[in-house]
Amino acid sequence: MGVEEQVERHHVLPRLLVVQTNRRVHGFQESRGHWFSAALGPNELVKQVQGRGHVVIAITSERALAFSAFTGGFFTVRWTANEQVHAVDQTNDAAMVRTSARHLTFRSQTGGWAEMR
């Protein structure tokens, strides 16, 4: 971690770990023993971090970040103007983020977001 970087929350699952700090979101992929990081913007706030099975989702004021135990790394989708998150639902291998503008799904094995309006 960097100078003055402080842990604010973490989420531990059997195959992955996500740690949110005041500057970044870090993800640890257990199968490869590797850390990944995504920097937060200067005014970006993490609103929630939740996970289940093979995927953890971090919802921020600017985007959704998904971290997969299978593919590693963070997969990002940005919010459109005035878009608000209504709910996050998960299974062991997928997550759905319902917003005021669309439904977004992330599948841990493919490592990509799909959108339905």
Looking at residue 39, what is its pLDDT?
96
pLDDT for 78: 96
DSSP 14-45: SSEEEEEESSEEEEEETTTTEEEEEEPPTT--
At 83 the pLDDT is: 95
Beta bridge partners of 74: 67
Q: Residue 88 is which amino acid? A: V
Please report the pLDDT score of residue 86 as a whole number: 97
pTM above threshold 0.85: yes
Strand partners, 37: 26
Say what the pLDDT of residue 117 is: 82
Q: Which stretches in the chain have pLDDT values below 70?
A: none
- Distance, in Å, from the CA atom of 111 to the CA atom of 81, rounded to the nearest integer, reads 25
